[in-house]
């Protein structure tokens, strides 16, 4: 089976990447981790708690390079700092940070938008948006020491348009993209680039939690200029591009990897 790194051996050789948010072997974060590993980077992974630790460690064992694994709860500032410092110590620095973290309560994704609770709103924003700022703050000293770096996160077109069934997560993704731009300005003097990838619908396990996702994915695929769905490996390849020196002048961007759907009016 081909991967996003096929034909890209050595593209990020010597770079050290921390991938936060790998959930399972079908996740976008895992595709990016594989692409980075296949193109020569050292990769560290994180897990949120004991429930996910076993699966993340099993995935880490399949990568080419020795892959350290660290516990990291993005809502715990002390743990964020400790885990990033530990990852930097284990790899001798951090050049690439992949943020692939998002969560909202199911009841705040369904029904009327006006039914979203204050508590649910705060939770979704904290985990899905503020966490990028928290991680960037912790990784900045290590990237400055290394002469620069690349930070990337995962967004969705619901950041720009109302997508029924996405509700509070759409607001969180809007905030995530805005944070991306402000971080790009704030960290640019150190040669640190910050970008977001807005991926089209992919039939991951996480996507199954969105009501009506299958029908939505079918409709979008039919309306894209390329008349098809995208693959998780195509998003992984974009992550590889953003981690590499090929994107040395790209920052503050939201890159759409959606077969062109974002360009269409209907």
Buried b (16+ CB within 10 A) or exposed e, 45-55: bbbbeeeeeee
CA distance between the termini of the chain:
34
Dihedral sign of CA atoms 62, 64, 65, 66 in order = positive
CA distance 79 to 53: 15
Task: Please give the full DSSP string across 106-172, using - where no structure is assigned.
Answer: GGGTSS-GGG--HHHHHHHHIIIIIHHHHHHHHHHHHHHHTT-EEEEEEE-GGGTS--TTTTHHHHH
156 as an active site residue: the answer is: yes
Which burial class, exposed, middle or buried, applies to 58 when counting CB atoms under 10 A from its CB (0-12, 13-18, 19+)?
exposed
Q: Which among 166, 182, 241, 261 is annotated as catalytic?
A: 166
DSSP state of 7: T
Q: Which among 156, 182, 241, 261 is annotated as catalytic?
A: 156
Alpha helices, DSSP H, located in 39-130: 50-60, 77-91, 118-125
DSSP state of 212: T
Q: Which residues are catalytic?
A: 156, 166
């Amino acid at each position: 089976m081909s991967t996003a790194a096929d034909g890209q051996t050595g593209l990020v050789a010597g770079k050290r990447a921390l991938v936060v948010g790998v959930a399972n072997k079908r996740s976008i974060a895992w595709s990016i981790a594989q692409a980075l590993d296949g193109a020569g980077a050292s990769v560290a992974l994180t897990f949120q708690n004991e429930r996910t630790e076993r699966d993340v460690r099993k995935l880490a064992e399949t990568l080419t390079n020795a892959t350290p694994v660290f516990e990291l709860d993005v809502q715990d500032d002390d743990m964020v700092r400790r885990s990033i410092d530990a990852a930097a110590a284990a790899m001798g620095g951090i050049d690439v940070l992949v943020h692939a973290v998002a969560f909202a309560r199911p009841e705040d994704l369904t029904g009327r938008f006006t039914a979203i609770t204050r508590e649910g709103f705060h939770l979704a924003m904290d985990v899905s948006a503020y966490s990028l700022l928290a991680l960037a703050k912790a990784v900045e000293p290590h990237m400055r020491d290394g002469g620069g770096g690349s930070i990337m996160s995962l967004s969705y077109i619901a950041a720009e348009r109302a997508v029924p069934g996405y509700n509070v997560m759409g607001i969180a993704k809007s905030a995530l993209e805005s944070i991306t731009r402000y971080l790009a300005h704030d960290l640019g003097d150190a040669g640190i680039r910050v970008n977001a990838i807005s991926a089209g619908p992919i039939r991951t396990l996480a996507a199954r939690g969105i009501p009506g996702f299958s029908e939505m994915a079918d409709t979008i695929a039919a309306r894209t200029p390329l008349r098809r769905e995208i693959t998780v490996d195509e998003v992984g390849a974009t992550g590889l591009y953003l981690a590499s020196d090929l994107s040395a002048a790209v920052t503050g961007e939201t890159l759409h990897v959606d077969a062109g759907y974002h360009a269409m009016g209907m």
